[in-house]
Amino acid sequence: MHENEWGARRGSDRRPTLVVVAGTRPEAIKLAPVVRALDLRPELRSLVVNSGQHVGAVRATFAEFGLRCDLELPELPPLPNLAASCDHLRVELRAAVARFRPDIVLVQGDTLTTYAAACAARDEGVRVAHIEAGLRTNSVNHPFPEEWFRRRIAGIASIHFAPSAQAAHNLRDEGIAGSAIYMVGNTGIDSLCAQLKQLNGHRPPDAPRCGVLVTLHRRENYDRHADTVCRALLRIVELRPDHRVVFPVHPNPRVAARIRGRLAGRSGIELVAPMAYGDFIRAAAGAALIISDSGGIQEEAAHLGTPLLVPRCNTERPEALATGFVRLVRNDEDTIVNAALETLDAPRRDALPFDEHAPYGAGSAAHAIVAKCSALLSVGVPA
């Protein structure tokens, strides 16, 4: 339903209303199954809002899932710092929440949009449901700003959808009432499960063979840390020339300029534009190794059967480490190179199935989330 139609009908339609807010590509990937599940619930109204943080990426990602946003806010302008960007998004999102008067605002993860939307909903007295709640590292402020956002969103949300038992435990340890926490799994696994079914297997025979697939985008890996990863990649392709590196470069100019300046035109390394979700999953399934600081890929690696090195000092996803497919590596050139060579020389393991033992659920998180929201709204449970 689009904004003008919504405005015309909202006065007569008394169904409970949910607003889903997305601002980045990973959010869109993880919220797409939720939007689909909401569409199957005639007792609910739903509105999808593109916050404007990465407006084109959100639009394109939802389109890949056959979805589109009901309201697209203006693109986030260049601002001097994170606080100014947050204030801008908060004002824009508060206006949207005030206009549509939802019963629940659904936010996902740990991005600037997630925090700004949670604040905007609170400003308007609307309850917040946090999807992927309870992820924690061993440091209150690291990585910044993701860990900072996660912990503050927990203090705002009244409904907490935890992706794992550990995440639920973290929330209880912080004083969140157990009655407000629902362990549902991770909606990113819903998207991955559906995508792999389309590809008819975990490692499609025609998947692109890239050897080493690399992504880098987190603030902790800006500047000299990006340089370290680039130097490590140059050594890896020198020592393993049969393993071509494919590197989808994040659009952030601070990251992109650094990477292109050090790797563009180098033998064995292909810098490419950010991939569509389906293309990325095909490449990841066919890779011998992934090197990435992404959180979502940590959840996906075991189901792809592809080993992953994470150049970070900590992770909010210990369940991924426990699978044996994911390994934290210090952002140090020798450490990354040695870990990569060791992994490339090791035998390939079978991918983990999507079942009741899967660390982030079997691919039904979105339906559990929507069912719980529907139940809470239908009986008027305060949240």
pLDDT, tens only, 308-322: 999 999 999 999 999
Q: Are residues 41 and 116 in the same domain?
A: yes
Of 27, 92, 103, 146, which one is the catalytic site residue? 146
Question: Is 146 annotated as catalytic?
Answer: yes
Query: Do 373 and 290 reside in the same domain of the chain?
Result: no
* Residue 352 in domain: no
Could you report the per-residue pLDDT of 299-310, keeping only the tens digit for each? Answer: 999 999 999 999
Residue 351 lies in a domain: no
Does 193 have pLDDT greater than 60? yes
Indicate whether 158 and 19 sit together in one domain.
yes
- Give 114-127 pLDDT, tens digit per residue: 999 999 999 999 99
Check residues 377 and 203 and name the one with the higher pLDDT: 377
205 shares a domain with 324 = yes
- What pLDDT shows up at residue 221? 66
pLDDT at residue 1 in the model: 45
Residue 299 known to be catalytic: no
Residues 70, 92, 103, 132: which is the catalytic one? Answer: 132
Judgement on whether residues 259 and 167 belong to the same structural domain of the protein: no
pLDDT attached to residue 152: 97
72 catalytic residue (yes or no): no
Give the residue among 65, 253, 222, 54 at the shortest CA–CA distance from 145.
222
User: HEC profile for the chain?
Assistant: CCHHHHHHHCCCCCCCEEEEEECCHHHHHHHHHHHHHHHCCCCCEEEEEECCCCHHHHHHHHHHCCCCCCEECCCCCCCCCHHHHHHHHHHHHHHHHHHHCCCEEEEECCCHHHHHHHHHHHHCCCEEEEECCCCCCCCCCCCCCHHHHHHHHHHHCCEEEECCHHHHHHHHHCCCCHHHEEECCCHHHHHHHHHHHHCCCCCCCCCCCCCEEEECCCHHHCCHHHHHHHHHHHHHHHHCCCCCEEEECCCCHHHHHHHHHHHCCCCCEEEECCCCHHHHHHHHHHCCEEEECCHHHHHHHHHHCCCEEEECCCCCCHHHHHCCCEEEECCCHHHHHHHHHHHHHCCCCCCCCCCCCCCCCCCCHHHHHHHHHHHHHHCCCCC
pLDDT level of residue 205 (50, 70, 90 thresholds): very low
Domain that holds residue 290: 197-345
Q: Is 217 a catalytic residue?
A: yes
Q: How many domains does the chain have?
A: 2
Whether residues 116 and 181 fall in one domain: yes
pTM: 0.92
Catalytic residue, from 59, 99, 151, 250: name it.
250
Confidence class of residue 199 from pLDDT cuts 50, 70 and 90?
confident
Can you give the pLDDT at residue 219?
74
Task: Say if 48 falls within a structural domain.
Answer: yes
Residues 213 and 234 in one domain: yes
pLDDT at 296 over 90: yes
Residue 230, φ and ψ in degrees, nearest 5: -60, -45
According to the model, what pLDDT value does residue 217 have? Answer: 81
Q: Is 32 a domain residue?
A: yes
Q: Tell me, what's the pLDDT at 252? A: 80
Over 70: is that where the pLDDT of 181 sits? Answer: yes
Residues 314-370 pLDDT 10s: 999 999 999 999 999 999 999 999 999 999 999 999 999 999 999 999 999 999 999
Same-domain status, 50 and 181: yes
Confidence of residue 206 (pLDDT cuts 50, 70, 90): very low
Q: Which of 217, 244, 282, 367 is catalytic?
A: 217
**pLDDT band with cut points at 50, 70 and 90 for residue 201:** low
Verify that 11 and 102 share a domain, yes or no: yes
Task: Return the CATH number at 222.
Answer: 3.40.50.2000
The pLDDT of residue 378 is above 70: yes
Is 306 part of a structural domain of the chain?
yes
Mean pLDDT of 124-140: 96
Asked about 132 being catalytic, the answer comes back as yes
- Same-domain pairing of 18 and 130: yes
Choosing from 172, 202, 219, 262, the catalytic residue is: 219
pLDDT of residue 88: 98
Which tokens hold the place of 205? 């025979």
Q: Are residues 130 and 57 in the same domain?
A: yes
